[in-house]
């Protein structure tokens, strides 16, 4: 029994260390004679890049609806020998910069040409051949967005300070009738403390005028 439990623990640890299974959901995978895995995710109507095993040697992702690749999602594919990312809906805006750099690094890896789908002006143009000046404009846009977010955070902090100030002021105003009541009682005058504090203060002032 103890031996069985030990083996179960070792299997669990090995599974945790090795990570996820080599085959993503909705894909078909097979082990290659030279090592690694062929991951076939072609024509699966995928809209998001699947999580890939580091031992992926052949990657087939053509004929899907992919528009972009999350930053860093392809960096662990050190064993990749062939890939096909063609016939997708690649959106060649600022977010495609990571895929462009990755394709440039993979220039010696055999692959099918990966072309833009959107915007219309760039339709059919190879992602690798995109003008680098386009991405320099993206950096300016990103800086503007960062400044705008910083301004919004500062404005929210300022509004919070103003709200706290008014809360403290309101608490101070609520305490003033109590101080007034204590002064009245100290003078030996009897006044019934009413629920409506404004009416109480008004009656006190009117009574003072009569005297």
Contacts of 79 (CB under 8 A, 6+ apart): 35, 36, 54, 55, 56, 57
Q: What is the pLDDT of residues 53-110, one digit of tens each?
A: 999 999 999 999 999 999 999 999 999 999 999 999 999 998 899 999 999 999 888 8
- Choose between 161 and 141: higher pLDDT: 161
Q: Region 24-35: what's the mean pLDDT?
A: 93
Domain-wise residue ranges, the chain = 2-130, 137-210
CA–CA dist 82, 51 (Å, integer) = 17
- Choose among 15, 59, 20, 17: nearest CA to 37: 59
Residue 129 φ/ψ, nearest 5 degrees: -90, 10
Fold of the domain built from segment(s) 2-130: 3.80.10
pTM, entire model: 0.57
């Amino acid at each position: 029994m103890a031996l069985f439990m030990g083996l179960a623990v070792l299997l669990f640890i090995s599974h945790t260390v090795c990570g996820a299974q080599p085959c993503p959901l909705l894909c078909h995978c097979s082990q290659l004679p030279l090592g690694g895995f062929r991951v076939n995710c072609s024509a699966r109507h995928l809209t998001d890049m699947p999580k890939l095993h580091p031992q992926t040697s052949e990657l087939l992702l053509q004929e899907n609806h992919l528009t972009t690749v999350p930053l860093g999602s392809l960096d662990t594919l050190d064993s990749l020998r062939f890939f096909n990312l063609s016939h997708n809906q690649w959106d060649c805006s600022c977010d495609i910069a990571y895929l462009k750099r990755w394709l440039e690094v993979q220039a010696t890896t055999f692959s099918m040409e990966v072309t833009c789908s959107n915007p219309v002006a760039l339709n059919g143009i190879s992602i690798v051949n995109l003008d680098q000046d386009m991405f320099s404009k993206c950096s300016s846009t990103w800086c503007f967005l960062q400044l705008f977010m910083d301004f919004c955070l500062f404005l929210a902090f300022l509004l919070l300070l103003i709200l706290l100030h008014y809360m403290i002021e309101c608490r101070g105003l609520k305490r003033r009738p109590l101080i007034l009541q204590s002064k009245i009682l100290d003078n030996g005058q009897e006044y019934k403390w009413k629920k409506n504090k404004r009416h109480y203060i008004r009656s006190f002032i009117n009574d003072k005028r009569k005297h």
